[in-house]
A = this chain, B = another copy of it.
Amino acid sequence: MKLIDLDTPTALLDEACVQRNIQRMQQRLDALGVALRPHVKTAKCVEIARRMQAAGARGITVSTLKEAEVFFEAGFDDILYAVGIALPRLAQVRALRERGCGLKLVLDSLEAAQAVCAAGPGLEVLIEIDTDGHRAGVDPEAALLLQIGQALQAGGAVLGGVMTHAGASYECRSPQALQAMAEQERARCVRAAQRLRQAGLPCPRVSVGSTPTALAAQRLDDVTEVRAGVYVFNDLVMHGLGVCRLDDIALSVLTTVIGHQPARGWVLVDAGWMALSRDRGTADQPVDWGYGAVCDEQGQPIDGLIVSGANQEHGIVSWRDGHADAALAQRFPIGQRLRILPNHACATAAQFGHYEVLGSNGALQRWERFSGW
């Protein structure tokens, strides 16, 4: 099986690039003296998680109980489920624990703490801390933090520590802003840990992270582990944040030219939003890549050429500056292959049931990925 034999659209991984991305993050966190607990929600692929583990990762992070089930079946037993638990699914959590899965939950309310305790003793729980006003979590200075800690302790749960995710790092627009956000994420989460300990509560784990803050952090004192996910593939949003180069993007969508509108300067390809996803994450960044950056079949970016529009199974390729270049029709004839780099690797990968993985020798292998909850 060679590249030429693949049907399109397909999700293509550059194996060497995946491996470089894994090494880079691991080496960085090794140097900062903290453990890496990679978030497997980006790839949802056992092969890739095994490579992360082989490189030195300790435990994994998941975004769904389905991920917890699949990765536990594949031999991973140290799993942090980093989304607040939907209470009706606590029975599934208990069943996983009883089968030997070291599943850890997160929560940020007294109601959830009480429900987790009522579901039976010994569940390990991290309290989610809000360090950036972005999403979930308890203010590190709030009385609620200690109340939740005490409720968990009194109710028979294992208080595993604190965790946070500075999703606001995606809105940073300079290396300095990213470094400051990384320090804010660290300092506020560490502060929450201190408050718990000062109140006589245990707080063994201090878990922070996002790919941008993990790559920007100058120090991670008093943090025990970092979670990051999208770094394994990288994408145009990460490139726009300045934390990766274009050639660090390991995931692309292989596509075929199916038509032209020369008068409008359009090349039509068979990768629409069903393949690329509807994610427009670069729309708010200084450089907007539309639905993706266009590369030749070998993966070399074609400067200025983007997927400017997308319908379900049609992508429209044109120059970013909008000029109608009739010559594109000759340059990219019908049947020609192109590769599209995604805005957001988590969203684009999720449109596919497997990856075609291109080795440095040109050979292909297939790695399965899964979806659902």
Which A residues are within 8 Å of any B CB, using their own CB? 7-10, 41, 63-64, 83-89, 92, 107-109, 111-112, 115, 130, 133, 135-136, 167, 256, 258-261, 264, 268, 270, 273-275, 277-280, 311-314, 316, 333-335, 344, 346-347, 350-353, 371-373
Contact = CB atoms under 8 A, between A and B. Distances in A.
Main secondary structure of the interface of A (DSSP, over half): loop
A256 B45 CA distance: 26
Given A109-B334, A261-B136, A335-B115, A84 B350 contact: no
Given A274-B350, A312-B346, A259 B84 contact: yes
A350 B87 CA distance: 26
Contacts of A9: 373
A7 B136 contact: no
Nearest to A316: B135
A86 B335 CA distance: 6
Contacts of A258: 83-86, 112, 136
A313 B136 contact: no
A75 to B, nearest CB: 24
A352 B372 contact: yes
9 contacts: A84-B258, A112-B259, A115-B334, A115-B335, A135-B268, A136-B258, A136-B259, A274-B350, A278-B280
Contact of A335 (B88, B136, B311, B333): B88
Given A136-B314, A311-B135, A372 B346 contact: no
A63 to B, nearest CB: 5
Nearest to A6: B88
A63 B280 CA distance: 23
A346 B167 CA distance: 28
A306 B367 CA distance: 38
A264 B136 CA distance: 11
A15 to B, nearest CB: 22
In the complex, the 3 A-B pairs of residues with the closest C-beta atoms, listed nearest first: A278-B278, A86-B256, A84-B258
A83 B314 contact: yes
A112 B371 CA distance: 35
A130 B312 CA distance: 17
Contacts of A115: 334-335
Given A115-B334, A130-B261, A278-B344, 12 more contacts: A41-B312, A41-B313, A83-B258, A83-B270, A85-B258, A88-B335, A107-B259, A109-B260, A115-B335, A135-B268, A278-B347, A351-B371
Contacts of A83: 258, 270, 313-314
B111 A8 contact: no
A88 B256 contact: yes
A313 B62 CA distance: 10
A169 B349 CA distance: 30
A148 to B, nearest CB: 12
Nearest to A107: B259
